[in-house]
Amino acid sequence: MKVKNKTFLLARTLIKNGEGLGIKGSSTFAKVSVILVFAIMIPMFMAGIAYLVTSLLGVLVQIGQEGIILSWGIAINSAIVFLFGIFYVVSTFYFSSDVEFLLPMPLKPRQILGAKFLVVTIYEYFTTAISFLPVWITYGIYMGCGLLYYIYGLVVFLLMPITPLAAASLIIMVIMRFTNLSKHKDAVKVLGGMVGVFFGVGLNLVIQNVMGSMSQEQIMELVQKGNNSLMILTSGVFPTARWGAEALINYSQLSGLFSFLLYAGFSLLIYFALLWLGQLIYLPGVVGLSETGSRRTKVNKQALEKTTVKGSVVRTYTLVELRLLFRTPIYFINCVSINFLWPVFLVFPLLFQSQQLNQIQQISEMLNRPESQGMVLAGSFALALFMGATNGTTSTSISREGQELFVKKYLPISYRQQLTAKVLSGFVLGLVSILIMVLFAVFIFKLSFWMGLLILAAAWLPVLLTCLTGLLIDLHNPKLDWDSEQKAVKQNVNLLYNMLAAVIPGVLTFVVLAFSPNLLVTFIALTALYGLLCYIMARLLYTKGVKRFIQLEI
């Protein structure tokens, strides 16, 4: 009983120590606007799902396949939990600064792990509530289900994150156990995290492949069978997903109770199995994670002279920004790796699915059609805008300074130069993603070399724009009061604001696209549009932004 108490007690403290929406300490305006955004967007999203479910049910009921809504609902949510879980687990189990305080306490590894697992489970509820509740409730109302359906459903909802999260935890724990050996802890942390992410994405692709390998005829046969036979399609991912769905569909029968017990029992079993395993491998992976190796070697004169050559202020400042981004694991994962991951996320699924090869061919043909060249350029602007806006380098660049911001105040260089360097650090990283995008387009989709060059020459504008807006937003609402680096980037709502800000140029790009102009007109229209927007934002940054930087005090 005592064991249980400590786990729950710890979990409660960890949650209280968390930051919620990350708006604590922000101005009232910022708080109100965040709450408004969430209060409008979340119900809209949920209503959208409910509407979709209702219209799908109308069709599915006629062919006796309505159960697929629930099994897909649970399976998709499990997959979401798994993908988010990989990131959550890396940062909560291993990168979080509280680990250092917990290790000296008289706690068993499974208590720390159990508490952290519960914390992540609760974080996941925020996501699954938005995407699962409308499915569950709409189905219940549409099918006129009884009270037992809702009771089962609540338990299914509460236990849903356990299996996928345990799978994510297991992958990460094994990786961290065997990588926490090197002297270069920071680099290993990043590598471990990245391998975990890639493993997760890879696993997802394999699953897609398995499901995709079923032929059209086999699927049609399943559809004709009726009686929710299509549900078998989703069982490959997480076995619990199917049991959960069966429990809900057959809630009024004994088989429903059986599925329900199987679902609940299996989930709990997984949880305790994970704790048992964690007792063995969690601590060796986490102890000494924050140590730093040192060489203690005398620098010879030549080496010293090589590393201490005078450089320009902006160049040196930008390089330091980049060094810190690359060397701080949580910054690397959130700000740097995202630049390389987007192109990979977008293109790899196409590469790894055999039947998609002709899709590549189709895309290639479309990209090279003379009449679609304008569209291709506009599309590359939209993609560059998207990749720029989802990259948090500049939208967290003031926040990342935290309590060290005062250093930037006593340096004898102008605020204008400092802001320029901050924009540059984000811009350089953004350019890498454009370059990868163009390389993929040229080598995989056989885009013409000249078109690739043209995209490179023009699509840096949207990236620059998002860097400028990101920094302006972070200057006005920086999150400086944090005690662990992950709070500066992960729980920073400025990234979301920057994505929202990007909607405006995004819409304008589609307006240009709607007129389906030729390449020359598109080029002129978009470079003029983005050039003007960049000019306005740069002016704002160098006037209002500088003023704001002067006002910021720690």
Partner 1 sequence: MIELMNVTKTYGSTIKAVDNLSLVIPDGEIFGFLGPNGAGKTTTIKLIAGILNADSGSIRVNGKDLREHALEVKKQIGFVPDTPNMFLRLKGIEYLNFMADMYDVSTEDRQERIQSLAARFGMADVLQDRIQSYSHGMRQKIILIGVLVHNPSVWILDEPMTGLDPRSSFLLKEMMREHADSGNTVFFSTHVLDVAEKVCDRVAIINKGQLLFCGSMEEMKDHFKKNASLENMFLELTESESEE
328 belongs to the binding site for partner 1 (CB under 8 A): yes
CA distance to 288, 298, 308, 400, 546, per residue, from 412 (Å): 38, 31, 19, 21, 15
101 belongs to the binding site for partner 1 (CB under 8 A): no
The 184-203 contact track toward partner 1, x by CB under 8 A, reads --x-----------------
Least distance to partner 1 from the beta carbon of 476, Å?
18
504 belongs to the binding site for partner 1 (CB under 8 A): no
4 versus 323: smaller Cβ distance to partner 1 = 323
Q: Cα Rg for the chain, rounded, in angstroms?
A: 26
116 versus 189: smaller Cβ distance to partner 1 = 189
Q: Among 215, 216, 308, 355, which residue interacts with partner 1 (rule: CB under 8 A)?
A: 308
CB count, 10 Å around CB of 20?
10
Binders of partner 1 among residues 330 to 389 (CB under 8 A) are none
298 belongs to the binding site for partner 1 (CB under 8 A): yes
Q: Among 269, 280, 287, 320, which residue interacts with partner 1 (rule: CB under 8 A)?
A: 320
**Cβ(260)–Cβ(74) below 8 Å:** no
CB count, 10 Å around CB of 93?
23
317 versus 497: smaller Cβ distance to partner 1 = 317
89 versus 330: smaller Cβ distance to partner 1 = 330
Least distance to partner 1 from the beta carbon of 184, Å?
10
**Cβ(357)–Cβ(364) below 8 Å:** no
553 belongs to the binding site for partner 1 (CB under 8 A): yes
Binders of partner 1 among residues 385 to 404 (CB under 8 A) are 404
457 belongs to the binding site for partner 1 (CB under 8 A): no
187 versus 432: smaller Cβ distance to partner 1 = 187
Q: Among 269, 357, 411, 504, which residue interacts with partner 1 (rule: CB under 8 A)?
A: 411
Candidate segments 56-64, 229-237, 373-381, 412-420, binder of partner 1 by CB under 8 A: 412-420
In 3D space, the residue among 355, 371, 387, 403 whose CA is nearest the CA of residue 461 turns out to be 387
Residue with tokens 């590359």: 380
416 belongs to the binding site for partner 1 (CB under 8 A): no
1 belongs to the binding site for partner 1 (CB under 8 A): no
310 belongs to the binding site for partner 1 (CB under 8 A): yes
- How far is residue 83's CA from residue 202's CA, in Å, rounded to a whole number? 11
How many Cα atoms occupy the beta-carbon half-sphere of 381 within 13 Å? 33
28 belongs to the binding site for partner 1 (CB under 8 A): no
- How far is residue 540's CA from residue 186's CA, in Å, rounded to a whole number? 37
Structure tokens at 176: 């961290």
Q: Among 181, 299, 457, 503, which residue interacts with partner 1 (rule: CB under 8 A)?
A: 299
In 3D space, the residue among 44, 41, 43, 73 whose CA is nearest the CA of residue 56 turns out to be 73
185 versus 242: smaller Cβ distance to partner 1 = 185
In 3D space, the residue among 462, 393, 471, 403 whose CA is nearest the CA of residue 434 turns out to be 462
2 versus 310: smaller Cβ distance to partner 1 = 310
CA distance to 227, 258, 292, 298, per residue, from 307 (Å): 72, 69, 22, 14
**Cβ(462)–Cβ(384) below 8 Å:** yes
Candidate segments 209-217, 250-258, 304-312, 354-362, binder of partner 1 by CB under 8 A: 304-312
Q: What is the rounded (10 degree) CA torsion for 399, 404, 406, 410?
A: -120
307 belongs to the binding site for partner 1 (CB under 8 A): yes
Q: What is the 3 state secondary structure string of 269-287?
A: HHHHHHHHHHHHHHHHHHC
- How far is residue 72's CA from residue 58's CA, in Å, rounded to a whole number? 16
311 belongs to the binding site for partner 1 (CB under 8 A): yes
294 belongs to the binding site for partner 1 (CB under 8 A): yes
Least distance to partner 1 from the beta carbon of 44, Å?
39
Q: Is 301 helix (H, G, I), strand (E, B) or coil?
A: helix
323 belongs to the binding site for partner 1 (CB under 8 A): yes
239 belongs to the binding site for partner 1 (CB under 8 A): no
* Residue 447 CA to its chain's centroid (Å): 29
Least distance to partner 1 from the beta carbon of 282, Å?
24
CA distance to 248, 363, 382, 427, per residue, from 509 (Å): 45, 21, 7, 20
Q: Among 104, 147, 296, 371, which residue interacts with partner 1 (rule: CB under 8 A)?
A: 296
Q: Among 30, 232, 313, 546, which residue interacts with partner 1 (rule: CB under 8 A)?
A: 313
Q: Among 309, 355, 370, 450, which residue interacts with partner 1 (rule: CB under 8 A)?
A: 309
By the 10 Å C-beta count (0-12 exposed, 13-18 middle, 19+ buried), 417 is classed as middle
Least distance to partner 1 from the beta carbon of 512, Å?
43
221 versus 305: smaller Cβ distance to partner 1 = 305
What distance, in Å, lies between the first and last C-alpha atoms of the chain? 46
* CB-based contacts of 468, cutoff 8 Å, min separation 6: 394, 423, 534, 537, 538, 540, 541
182 belongs to the binding site for partner 1 (CB under 8 A): no
Structure tokens at 492: 């920073």
283 belongs to the binding site for partner 1 (CB under 8 A): no
366 versus 550: smaller Cβ distance to partner 1 = 550
Q: Among 141, 293, 362, 453, which residue interacts with partner 1 (rule: CB under 8 A)?
A: 293
Q: Is 339 helix (H, G, I), strand (E, B) or coil?
A: helix
Phi, psi of 249 (to 5 degrees): -70, -45
97 belongs to the binding site for partner 1 (CB under 8 A): no
Least distance to partner 1 from the beta carbon of 327, Å?
4
Instruction: Give the residues lining the site for partner 1 (CB under 8 A).
Output: 186, 292-299, 301, 304-305, 307-313, 316-317, 320, 323-324, 327-328, 404, 406-407, 409-414, 550-551, 553-554
